[in-house]
Structure 1
Amino acid sequence: MAAPALIALAHGSRDPRAAATVRALVGEVRAQRPDLRIEAAHLSASRPSFEQVVDKLVRAGHEEVVVVPLLLNDAHHAQVDVPAAVAAASERHPGLRVRASRILGLEPAFLQVLDERLRDALRHARVRELDALVLAAAGSGDALANQAVARLARVWGSRHRLPVTAAFASAAPPATGEAVRAFRGEGRRHIAVASMFLAPGAMTDRAAELALEAGAVAVSDPLGAHPEVARAVLARYAVGAVELVPV
């Protein structure tokens, strides 16, 4: 029996860089598992849509699908939009068995990716010294999601033995500029910002702009199509595929 198809489901963005990043990530996932049928899809704005991809897989004869939401925080999109999309697909295709895995989330392994991206930014900016770090994330109206970012920031800071704070691009304080200014108010002058976002877009651009205006010495690129992120996608898929097995 063929393995379930995998849909890597992104939120979607009008920024073409976001869709390009999702395509590149799916390419990395395919390189790691060439035996699987793997497709990218989006909840909104970008194409192909989730509905289009599900319809294509059904036409190709697939009867089982695992949906891996490419989301880093467990907030509204994860709790409402993804389940609604999966339920609609199941209703539209009664013979299809579709299962959503848990989101990518804030994997501790992603700290390795953050470090790589930040080292690249520091090298480009010719920065050799740091005395504080800011972990920038999207932010949410869900306090628990923001607390998860703050916990990861503390773990990251302890690895580097530097003070660190979480900052958010929307929905919750502090913004990246506020976080940088707070450190500067303590007398720190070599503050770098790491971008805990999957892909670039208007939100990441604004977070970087505010941080640099406030005096940050470097801002890293988002996680992007890193092999570690692809491995996390496949780990979510593996659990979802097992859950599709009839008991």
Structure 2
Amino acid sequence: MPALLLIAHGSRDPRHAATVAALVDGVRARRPGLDVATAYLDHCAPRIPQVVGRLDDAVAVPLLLNRAFHAKHDIPAALRAAGARLPVADVLGPSPLLLAALDRRLAEAGLDVAPAAVRARTGVVLAAAGSSDPAADAATRATAAAWQRTRGWAAVEVAYAAGSGPRVPDALAALRAAGATHTAVAPYLLAPGRLPDRIASSATDADTVADVLGPAPEVATLLLQRYDQARTAAEAQLPALTA
């Protein structure tokens, strides 16, 4: 069975690598016997060239929520530079599992997400990193719309920690103007760091502030889904390549 090569961005913040390690533990617990390796694009070790050389067979799975610059350019370029021709799985989003992970983090922060009446009066800010790629921002907005539609929130507004677009205080004001009597901020980010800290510090007026997605069980399950999908697609191409 091919190894799962988890490719994370990396950060100078030590909480980032600790979160990735906890997520890898969750993946291993769900698939005992699967070789799971980690490589980073920047800041952390090991880097991609240090890891791919010891893997006989692997599927690369990006630890990314949207198809932006890192997914489209950085990861393929890093794999090429390392001489690795590996199947590369799709990014994590969009997925119902991410919505479930967002629900989990809000519940852990103290919001009773189960009653429909609570959701109907709660407005949520989906706080993302922000991207210069319009398609990535569109995917985040689509996730917000799906979350509101499937859960029955009073409203879901998107805010960004960087780049252009509304900030968390703007989104909170929009939720209150729309009639939400309870407001919550849900970071749409995978690991702690500078941008999640910026979101939290700007959310002091919110009634509930959730943690990042981190090693939520749904994220570990989703990583394995993406691995399986990429492995199946690669195996289906083998007869055509060898014919």
Deviation at 1:240, TM superposition (A): 2.1
Do the aligned partners of residues 83 and 97 (structure 1) sit closer, same or farther apart at CA in structure 2, a change above 3 Å counting? closer
Paired amino acid for 2:135: L
Give identity over the alignment, percent: 44
What are the equivalent positions in structure 2 for 1:46-125 lying under 5 Å apart? 46-55=44-53, 57=54, 62-90=55-83, 97-122=85-110
Tell me the residue number matched to 1:241.
231
Q: Which residue of 2 aligns with 1:222?
A: 212
**Contact 1:86-1:100 within 8 A present in 2 as well:** no
In structure 1, C-alpha distance between the alignment counterparts of 2:20 and 2:33, rounded to whole Å:
20
Q: Counterparts of 1:216 and 1:118 in 2: how far apart (Å)? A: 12
Does 1:141 find its partner at 2:132?
yes
- 2:136 partner amino acid: A
> How many pairs were matched up?
230
Instruction: Describe the SS at the equivalent of 2:203.
Output: helix
Q: Distance in 2 between matches of 1:104 and 1:173?
A: 23
SS at match of 2:39: strand
- 1:190/1:217 contact within 8 Å kept: yes
Query: CA shift at 1:191, angstroms?
Result: 0.9
CA drift of 1:189 comes to 4.8
Per the normalisation by structure 1, the TM-score is 0.87
Looking at structure 1, the residues matched to 233 and 15 of structure 2 have their Cα atoms a distance apart, in angstroms, of: 33
Deviations 1:95-128 (A, max 9, x none): x64221111123122111111110111259xxx9
Q: 1:15 offset after TM fit, Å? A: 0.7
Counterpart of 1:151 (choices 135, 142, 146) is 142
Displacement after TM superposition at 1:237 (Å): 1.1
Q: Distance in 1 between matches of 2:56 and 2:233?
A: 14
Cα distance in 2, alignment partners of residues 242 and 41 from structure 1? 22
Match of 2:123 in 1: 132
CA displacement 1:183-235 (0-9 Å, x = unmatched): 334564521011111111110010111121xx111210011112211111111
Match of 1:163 in 2: 155
Instruction: Please give the secondary structure, in 1, of the residue aligned with 2:27.
Output: helix
- How large is the RMSD of aligned CA atoms in angstroms? 1.9
| Closer/same/farther in 2, CA of residues 97 and 147 from structure 1, 3 Å limit | closer
Question: Structure 2 stretches of 5 or more lacking a match?
Answer: none
Are 2:7 and 2:41, in contact at CA under 8 Å, matched by a contact in 1?
yes
State the 4+ residue runs in structure 1 displaced beyond 6 angstroms: none
